[in-house]
Amino acid sequence: MALPFAKSLCFCPITASNCLALNQIQNHLEMVRKKIVAGNWKMNKSYDEGIALVEQLLDELDMDKVGETHVIISPPSVLLQPITELLMFTPGIAVAAQNCHQEESGAYTGEISARMIKSIDADAVILGHSERREYFKEDDSLIAKKMKAVLANELMVIYCCGESFEERKTGNHIAVVEKQLRTALADFSTKDAENIIVAYEPVWAIGTGEVATVQQAGEMHTHIRKVLADIFGDTSQNMSILYGGSVKPDNAAELFAHPDIDGGLIGGASLKSNDFMSIIYALSK
């Protein structure tokens, strides 16, 4: 399988003399948990608006400040190809689809497949977002099928999990998220796990302006890592766990300071380049 985020890992040109050093660096990077900020645009931005937003990011994002943080942009599907092309020579910024069908091709009007997403050189697919679960009735056994398709096409998965307000209020949040993880991830290998990013997104915090406290998010992330360790052993230490739900420039740094929060999945704030850049810099510090 191709190196995950191969584009992002190329820090210097390969020559015979630095080839060994590069291998060592890559081996090291593969062992280190990646810091990631992903922008989920949802169903926002026309073609021109989307291109303009990426061009503004390309103009203004200071890659020295971004450092080793990986940035992912997840636009609506009509924008996947032009944005992938725009970013082709920008190490450090990857492109993710927001969903895909579990089958490779066929009579599934309105759907796109992981194979199609791979064919335009995108890097990843978001799966299991609570909006897909709620409005399109996706459950973890369907999400697992989609994950198989995505990994078979050598793409990364951003797997979303999270509890509803009701589930948190009744104290079931930890059990709910654990069940989601165990159902969706049960049939995957440690090799697969290298290409899975988990995003904890409490449903009550998505698009509501109500952000989880560091304590609430941290408690869940620590538990998610324990569950991942149970499923995938040591590989879990290298898996990134992102927090999502009303992350904004003014709360990002505090959340990202928690040792088990490896970055964020950003909705509303990823639609404004200044806000998105501030959140990226908050993680890069």
Query: What residues are labeled active site?
Result: 129, 201
Residues in the chain, total: 285
- Smallest gap from Cβ 17 to ligand PGA, in A, equals 44
Residues 6+ apart with CB under 8 A from 219: 174
Exactly one of 221, 245, 263, 277 binds ligand PGA (CB under 6 A); that residue is 245
- Smallest gap from Cβ 245 to ligand PGA, in A, equals 5
Exactly one of 32, 65, 170, 207 binds ligand PGA (CB under 6 A); that residue is 207
- Smallest gap from Cβ 256 to ligand PGA, in A, equals 14
Q: What residue number has its CB nearest to ligand PGA?
A: 267
Strand runs labelled E in 44-195 = 70-74, 93-97, 124-127, 156-161
Distance CA 29, CA 282 (A): 21
Query: Among residues 71, 22, 2, 27, which one has the least CA distance to residue 238?
Result: 27
Exactly one of 193, 197, 212, 266 binds ligand PGA (CB under 6 A); that residue is 266
Contact in structure between 148 and 104 (CB atoms under 8 Å): no
**Interaction mask 39-68, ligand PGA, x per CB under 6 A:** -x----------------------------
Contact in structure between 177 and 161 (CB atoms under 8 Å): yes
- Smallest gap from Cβ 44 to ligand PGA, in A, equals 10
Residues 6+ apart with CB under 8 A from 121: 84, 88
Residues that bind ligand PGA (CB under 6 A): 40, 201, 206-207, 244-247, 265-269
